[in-house]
Amino acid sequence: MKDNQPTKIPTYQNTLYFVPCTLYLVLNTYLCRMEIQTHQLANGIRIIHHHVNSAVAHCGIMINTGSRDEAAPEQGITHFIEHALFKGTKKRKAFHILSRLEDVGGELNAYTTKEETWYYSSFMKEYYERSIELLSDIIFNSTLPKKELEKEKDVIMDEIYSYLDSPSEAIFDDYEELIYHGHPIGRNILGIKKTIQSFDPKTVKAYMQRHYNTDQIILSSVGNIDFNKLVRYAEKHLSHVPSNKRTHDRLGINGYETRELHVKKDILQAHCIIGNRAYSAQDPKARTLILLSNLLGGPGMNSRLNLGIREKYGFTYTIESNYTTYCDTGVWSIYFGTEPQSVKKTIKLIYKELKKLRETKLGPVQLQKAKQQLIGQLAIAQENNCNLMQSIAKSYQAFGKVERIEETNNKILAITAEEIQEVAQDIFREDQLSTIIYEPKDA
C-alpha cells in the first residue's frame, strides 16, 4: 500500500498529512463549533465522530503504535505490517482489497509514524459500512501470505532507496537519530535491509499481538452519518475483536547531549538542520513554541527566517522552522538548503535571529500579528476533512478530548511576550543546539 507522504512543510514522515508541523499540536485540539461524539466498545476500541454536511466522508483506524515501539531486531516492522496487511485476508485477495472502495470512487490508504499507524479511507457517504468492514477485515483478518510478504520486502527496499535519494527528506531522520542517539525514537521508520529481510508471518503476528492493543485503537470518522448508525456499524464489524489491553509502557527518553555531524554525499546543494529537543505534546509550553516556531519560520512568506535570510540575502530557496511533538518529548529544528559556500553565512544569520528572540520581547503589534496568523492558518488547515478525521483521533488519544475553536483561539491569544521570550531562552540556547550538515563530496 502506498504511504501517505507529506507534500508541504516539513517533508519528513512523522507528521500529519498536509499539515505544517508548527500547526500540528494545535490542530490536534482544534475543531469547529459542531459536536464531537464518542463511544467505546466492550473490547476497548473507541469511536470518535464529527458530523459534517458533505457528500464525501472520511473514516480511519488509528493504532497507538509506531516505529519507536520496536526492539532493535524489529526495526521497520511497524511500517512493514502496514504494507503486509493489504496482501490478503480470509475472504479477499490483494486485488479485491484495493478494488473494494476504488470500484465506487473511494480511496484506501495507510501510513506509519514514530508513534502511530493509520489505515483510512475517503468515500461517498453511502459507503460508510463498506469502508468500516474493509478496514476491519484488513487489520484483523489478514492472512499474511508468505510469498506476498517476500515480494513486499523488495517494494519497501525500493521505497528506502527512493527516500535516500531525497536529501531534503532523509536529513530529518538522520537529525532525529543524532539527537536521540541510541533510542528507538531516533531510528528511521522504514527500517534497514537486515531486519526487513528477517520478517515472516510468525514475527508479524507476534508483534501485532503485543502492540495492536484494543484499548489503543480508535475508529475516527468525519462525515454525514447518524452517530447511532456509525456505532452499529462499528459494533457489527469491530466488536468481535478479542479484548487485548496494553500492559507495557513505552521506553522512556534517554539523556540529551549536543552533537554536530557533517556528512559527505553525492549532491550539489548543501542541506542543514539546526535544532534541539523540545516540549512534549502534554507540556503547557508546547503551544507557545508552536506560535514562536511559526513566527520564526512557518509556512508564511513573512516569517523572520524567510525575510531575514532568503529575501534579504538570497542565500537559500527553502528555510523553515519545524516543531514535532511526541507523547513524552519533542523536536524543534530549522532546516535550510543552500550552496556549499553559503552554509556558514546562513548559520550565522540564523543564530542572529535566534538571539533576537532570546533577548528582545515581541512588541504588542508583532505579537498580535503572530497570533492572528496562526489562528488563520489553523482555520485553513481544518478545511481538509481528512486531516480533521486524523486530528480528532490523535487529540482523543493524547488528551482524552478535542478542544473547541473558541478555547483553542483563546489559549493562543492569551500567550504573552514574556512567555515567548522564556521559551526562546530555553529552546534556542546556542549551547543546546545540535547540527547536521549534508555536504557535496567535492565541496
Question: For the segment 290-314, what is each residue's pLDDT rounded down to a tens digit?
Answer: 999 999 999 989 999 999 999 999 9
Domain extent for 405: 260-440
Quick one: cell of 101?
472502495
Average pLDDT over residues 385-393: 94
Q: How confident is the model at residue 34 (pLDDT cuts 50, 70, 90)?
A: low
Co-location of 414 and 380 in the same domain: yes
Question: Between residues 442 and 275, which one has the greater pLDDT?
Answer: 275
Res. 427: pLDDT tops 50: yes
Looking at the 3D structure of the chain, how many domains does it have?
Answer: 2
What stretches of 130-288 adopt beta strand conformation (E)? Answer: 217-223, 260-265, 270-278
Residue 254 in domain = no
Residue 29, pLDDT score: 42
Average pLDDT over residues 136-142: 98
Residue 379, pLDDT score: 85
Co-location of 42 and 83 in the same domain: yes
Res. 253: pLDDT tops 70: yes
Q: Is the peptide bond before 284 cis (omega within 30 degrees of 0)?
A: no
Name the strand (E) or helix (H) holding 63.
Answer: strand 56-63
Res. 344: pLDDT tops 60: yes
Residue that is last in its domain, among 169, 204, 238: 238
DSSP 113: -
Co-location of 166 and 288 in the same domain: no
Measured on CA atoms in the order 296, 8, 152, 107, is the torsion positive or negative?
positive
Average pLDDT over residues 151-179: 95
53-96 per-position pLDDT tens digit:
999 999 999 999 999 999 999 999 999 999 999 999 999 999 99
Co-location of 290 and 375 in the same domain: yes
Co-location of 220 and 294 in the same domain: no
Residue 383, pLDDT score: 83
Res. 26: pLDDT tops 60: no
Separation between Cα atoms, residue 415 and residue 412, nearest integer Å: 6
Which range in 353-362, 378-387, 405-414 is most confidently predicted, on average pLDDT?
353-362
Residue 245 in domain = no
Residue 3, pLDDT score: 44
Co-location of 177 and 317 in the same domain: no
Contact 70, 183 (CB under 8 A): no
Which of 8-12, 220-224, 249-253 bottoms out in mean pLDDT, i.e. has the lowest?
Answer: 8-12
Strand partners, 109: 120
Co-location of 204 and 319 in the same domain: no
Q: Supply the mean pLDDT for the chain.
A: 91
Residue 230 Cα distances to 58, 100, 234, 291, 400, angstroms: 12, 19, 6, 36, 20
Residue 30, pLDDT score: 43
Quick one: cell of 105?
470512487
Backbone angles phi, psi at 385, to 5 degrees: -70, -25
Q: How confident is the model at residue 443 (pLDDT cuts 50, 70, 90)?
A: low
Q: How confident is the model at residue 406 (pLDDT cuts 50, 70, 90)?
A: confident
Residue 248 in domain = no
Co-location of 55 and 92 in the same domain: yes
Residue 414 CB-density burial (10 A; 0-12 exposed, 13-18 middle, 19+ buried): exposed
The residue type found at 139 is I
Q: In this structure, what CATH number is given to the domain that contains residue 130? A: 3.30.830.10
